Amino acid sequence: MNNQKQQKPTLSGQRFKTRKRDEKERFDPTQFQDCIIQGLTETGTDLEAVAKFLDASGAKLDYRRYAETLFDILVAGGMLAPGGTLADDMMRTDVCVFAAQEDLETMQAFAQVFNKLIRRYKYLEKGFEDEVKKLLLFLKGFSESERNKLAMLTGVLLANGTLNASILNSLYNENLVKEGVSAAFAVKLFKSWINEKDINAVAASLRKVSMDNRLMELFPANKQSVEHFTKYFTEAGLKELSEYVRNQQTIGARKELQKELQEQMSRGDPFKDIILYVKEEMKKNNIPEPVVIGIVWSSVMSTVEWNKKEELVAEQAIKHLKQYSPLLAAFTTQGQSELTLLLKIQEYCYDNIHFMKAFQKIVVLFYKAEVLSEEPILKWYKDAHVAKGKSVFLEQMKKFVEWLKNAEEESESETEEDVLKLNCLLSGFHR
């Protein structure tokens, strides 16, 4: 038996034909462009006919491969060179966004063309977003009229969900911002977007892509202030956008204030330093005192780990809040601030069940420490309280409120004996 392996026969001098589907087709956007432009020339400016032509052509032409060319033609009339110019030797068409009338109604009609095309060929979604990002970077290469049309179209497409708000990142390009192109474009864009939806829907879309706090970046660094943004967009007829940005800035400032306040408390900074810092922030960010007292209360209550036993937490709370009374008193110089604090205490005691029996003790402590005064307490008791734990807290406060009412009716002059009686009485309310 022959153990040697038999040599396998080999083929030499043979050539195999490559199957047609394995051949890589040459990238030829010019031929694709010619087909699209010829079709658009035949349809004319009837956008319904344009939409039907594009729908049918997707079965014959390679939209997936030539998406950029397709969208260049529909927006600018032909293939765009870097920078946004049309090549002189290329075919072009007037059936495009840039050659259309400069009004919102026309741009809404073009938006329907893009919407139908992308709904029919879902794979074009990403290509279209990339196209719009590119077009925004090319804004300086377009005329003012072309920019206005593109802005209106983009606003409508953002409103109907064809585009994602993340495309706006392109507007933060340094050169566009520096020359004022981004801000001017944003005016037209937001006008058409808000016209289609409302400011709440616009805000929700911006929040989804973390753009809600970046709108001031449409201006150069030396103009990135709420005042400048508000003036610019209000004068342009976008007061609702100005107010939204102002509110966002205020919310951000409040969050930052609370964060810094908690850090200062955990470090044990002197109250006089904390008060000075808070008052400076109030002035700088125009934060009213009733808002600040809510922030201070939340910060004070978050600096300690509370006992889980109801019978011990009240004593712990009184000891803790007595220490922080001077800080709280610095921000209850208005009746509305005192009422806000009372409501915050009520909500806190209700939301944290171990504090249900501590409400009255906290209010009496603050009355003694001159954080709270008679009038706001009586108003809270009468009609300014909220529903949370209402029956429990009103019952707790009944005797103290009766005493306050009686004290108001008595003579304003107090003897040393009266003061002693007052302190004894208030001490009794703690028990």
What gap in Å lies between CA 161 and CA 159, rounded to an integer?
A: 6
CA–chain centroid gap for 405, Å, is: 47
What gap in Å lies between CA 314 and CA 352, rounded to an integer?
A: 12
What gap in Å lies between CA 44 and CA 37, rounded to an integer?
A: 10
Domain membership of residue 132 (yes or no) is yes
For the chain, the domain total comes to 2
The pLDDT of residue 213 is: 85
34 and 146 inside one domain: yes
Two structure tokens written together for 31: 């031929």
50 and 141 inside one domain: yes
187 and 318 inside one domain: no
- Residues in contact with 347: Cβ distance below 8 Å, sequence separation at least 6, in sequence order: 386, 388
Domain membership of residue 245 (yes or no) is no
End-of-domain residue from the set 142, 177, 209? 209
Residue 253: Cβ within 10 Å count: 17
67 and 188 inside one domain: yes
CB 86 within 8 A of CB 77: yes
Domain membership of residue 10 (yes or no) is no
194 and 314 inside one domain: no
Give the DSSP H or E segment for 321. helix 310-329
CA–chain centroid gap for 396, Å, is: 42
Domain membership of residue 7 (yes or no) is no
Domain membership of residue 331 (yes or no) is yes
User: 425 to each of 366, 368, 430, how far by Cα in Å?
Assistant: 15, 11, 9
What gap in Å lies between CA 378 and CA 372, rounded to an integer?
A: 11
CA–chain centroid gap for 221, Å, is: 20
Print pLDDT tens along the chain (431 aa): 455 555 555 545 555 454 444 444 566 888 999 999 999 999 988 999 999 999 999 999 999 999 999 999 999 999 998 888 887 667 889 999 999 999 999 999 999 999 999 999 999 999 999 999 999 999 999 999 999 999 999 999 999 999 999 999 999 999 999 999 999 999 999 999 999 999 999 999 999 999 988 999 999 999 998 899 999 999 999 999 999 998 888 888 899 999 999 999 999 999 999 999 999 999 988 889 999 999 999 999 998 888 888 778 889 999 999 999 999 999 999 999 999 999 999 999 999 998 999 999 999 999 999 999 999 999 999 999 999 999 999 999 999 999 998 876 664 545 455 545 555 555 555 44
Domain membership of residue 78 (yes or no) is yes
Domain membership of residue 431 (yes or no) is no
By CB atoms closer than 10 A (0-12, 13-18, 19+), residue 321 is: buried
- Residues in contact with 290: Cβ distance below 8 Å, sequence separation at least 6, in sequence order: 334, 336, 337, 339, 340
Question: What pTM does this model have?
Answer: 0.68
Two structure tokens written together for 394: 């009103």
Nearest residue to 322 via CA among 371, 358, 375, 277: 371
Nearest residue to 153 via CA among 181, 112, 210: 112
99 and 192 inside one domain: yes
End-of-domain residue from the set 209, 241, 268? 209
Domain membership of residue 388 (yes or no) is yes
293 and 153 inside one domain: no
42 and 139 inside one domain: yes
195 and 307 inside one domain: no
Give the residue numbers spanning the domain of 189: 29-209
CB 426 within 8 A of CB 364: yes
200 and 315 inside one domain: no
End-of-domain residue from the set 149, 175, 209? 209
CB contact burial 216-243 (16+ within 10 A = b; e otherwise): bebbeeeeeebeebbebbeebebebbbe
CB 369 within 8 A of CB 408: no
200 and 308 inside one domain: no
167 and 302 inside one domain: no
